[in-house]
A and B are shown apart, each in its own frame.
Chain A
Amino acid sequence: MDDKLIIDLYWQRSERAISETDEKYSRFCHYIAYNILGDDEDSKEIVNEVYLKAWNTIPPNRPGILKSYLGMICRQLAINRYQAKNAQKRKADTPIVLDELGECIPDKGCEEVGDGFALRDALSRFVASLPVRARRIFVRRYWYAAPVSDIAREYSVKESYVTVSLLRTRRKLKAFLEKEGFAV
């Protein structure tokens, strides 16, 4: 079913909206949740929570792109779930992803100017400035929390290529954040 029709179902408060969403986007949401949580059962729960959240927020919202809307909800819920539990016991790449992102934190010499909005804005500008492939690899890793092996397979490159690309992008990001005045 077309996304617009699904959103209309939400607005009509038709429970069919949930089943149609499940039909079309359950895999997508599960993929995101599983990457972050590394647990099938937890991921299934998150997917159900996504539907509930969507049900409660549409209306008043009318997402322009339902897929990304659901993805963002799913990612946020999964991160919340991850943080609420013992991360070390998880099989997912999230601890590694967090460590990798930790490398991007500027060391010193910058003023603390970053609130959430400014940081999000800076990150959006940074990501938009990346070459296409580097951007896709970066987003896949740090937005979708995808394993390096998955990314390499998807883009038909070697894992070493992905690793090096991520390393260089993180270095760029660190320099960018320093330049933008963000600090620990």
Chain B
Amino acid sequence: MTGNDLLLALGGLDESVVLDAAPSEKYKKRSAGQIGKWTVAASFCLMLSLALALMLSKLIFQPIPDGATAGGVQAPDKGYTFNINERVDCTCGECFFVINNICLTSTVNGQLADNGGYLILEAEASTNHHWLTSSDILLGFDKTVKNVGYVFDEALSEKFSDTKNVFDRDTIEINGRVSYIFKLDNETYQELVAAVLDGGHGENVFNPGVSWCGGFCLYIFDFDDIYIVSDYQ
């Protein structure tokens, strides 16, 4: 059997499946001339956008305030108290954000909690966080969660996409940003942390062979300490 055999055999797929994946009616005939024209137009627009973005960045971008992590995350009225111990600049080269308490290769007291943990996903943008002003971050909640799960592992992804059964969902405000907080069952939590520890920041976890730009912020808490996975643009 060869790839060609598979290609030919795929021709026998059920027509409803084929039609379901059919391109939208927007497609057009392409030719070398058309491609060239659009490429030039797209390049021009890109350059214009970049120039505009550079100008705006000087006006809009503000540094992330030091107070962002100083006090930790506390919501005693909701029963949550998370401490953020230190602040380290991310060195992944792809983002320019702050990692709060870089503990990706260690665990609390040498071992993980055995009764679950918390996951926090930022949900809303704040004007003083320029990396959240991208349209990419304006993802719907479910899409965000699904994407987060997706980059880890398929099995985990399924769990993430079925949040009703796995998580207790609540919201919390972190540094002025509304975030979703999930209480993870132990199995999911262990799986998530293992994926993080296995891949490390910006490596296998978020870049399984390709560049990943999720546009979200993801934290994992182990009760007393915070394990931040990524602040990605």
Q: Which residues of A contact B (CB under 8 A)?
A: 26-28, 30-31, 34, 40, 43, 64-65, 67-69, 71-72, 75-76, 79, 83, 97-106, 114, 116, 119-120, 123-124, 127-128, 135-140, 142-144, 146, 150, 154, 158-161, 163-164, 167-168, 182-184
Query: What is the interface residue range for chain B against chain A?
Result: 35 or more
- B3 / chain A contacts, CB cutoff of 8 Å: 97-105
Cβ-defined contact, B21 with A144, below 8 A: yes
Cβ-defined contact, A79 with B7, below 8 A: yes
- B147 / chain A contacts, CB cutoff of 8 Å: 161
Cβ-defined contact, B6 with A160, below 8 A: no
Nearest CB in chain A: distance from B3 CB, A = 4
Q: How far is the CA of A101 from the CA of B8 in the complex (A)?
A: 11
Nearest CB in chain B: distance from A159 CB, A = 8
Cβ-defined contact, B32 with A79, below 8 A: no
Contact of A102 among B2, B9, B23 (CB under 8 A): B2
Q: How far is the CA of A159 from the CA of B3 in the complex (A)?
A: 23
- B14 / chain A contacts, CB cutoff of 8 Å: 124, 127-128
Nearest CB in chain A: distance from B35 CB, A = 10
Q: How far is the CA of A92 from the CA of B46 in the complex (A)?
A: 25
Contacts A101-B3, A105-B2, A127-B13; A72 near B23 (Cβ below 8 A): no
Contact of A143 among B13, B30, B212 (CB under 8 A): B13
A-B contact pairs, 12 of them (CB 8 A): A28-B22, A64-B15, A68-B16, A68-B18, A69-B15, A97-B7, A98-B4, A119-B9, A120-B9, A123-B10, A123-B13, A154-B23
Cβ-defined contact, B213 with A144, below 8 A: no
Q: How far is the CA of A168 from the CA of B156 in the complex (A)?
A: 14
Pairs A-B, 8 closest by C-beta atoms: A120-B12, A102-B3, A68-B15, A139-B21, A101-B3, A160-B210, A40-B31, A98-B3
The digit string for B172-198, where 1 denotes a CB below 8 A from any CB of A, is: 000000000000000000000000000
User: Which B residues between 10 and 53 are near A, CB-CB below 8 angstroms?
Assistant: 10-24, 27-32
Q: Which residue of A lies closest to B27 (CB)?
A: A31
Contact of A184 among B1, B12, B209, B213 (CB under 8 A): B1
- A116 / chain B contacts, CB cutoff of 8 Å: 8-9
Inter-chain contact total with CB atoms closer than 8 Å: 140
Nearest CB in chain B: distance from A155 CB, A = 10
- B167 / chain A contacts, CB cutoff of 8 Å: none
Q: How far is the CA of A179 from the CA of B18 in the complex (A)?
A: 25
Q: Which residue of B lies closest to A36 (CB)?
A: B7
Cβ-defined contact, B210 with A164, below 8 A: yes
B71: Cβ under 8 A from any A Cβ: no
Cβ-defined contact, B208 with A164, below 8 A: yes
Cβ-defined contact, B29 with A27, below 8 A: yes
Contacts A65-B15, A124-B14; A136 near B30 (Cβ below 8 A): no
Cβ-defined contact, B7 with A98, below 8 A: yes
Nearest CB in chain A: distance from B153 CB, A = 10
Q: Which residue of A lies closest to B26 (CB)?
A: A154
- A167 / chain B contacts, CB cutoff of 8 Å: 208-209
Q: How far is the CA of A36 from the CA of B217 in the complex (A)?
A: 40
Cβ-defined contact, B13 with A139, below 8 A: yes
Q: Which residue of A lies closest to B5 (CB)?
A: A119
- A28 / chain B contacts, CB cutoff of 8 Å: 22-23, 27
- B20 / chain A contacts, CB cutoff of 8 Å: 135-136, 139
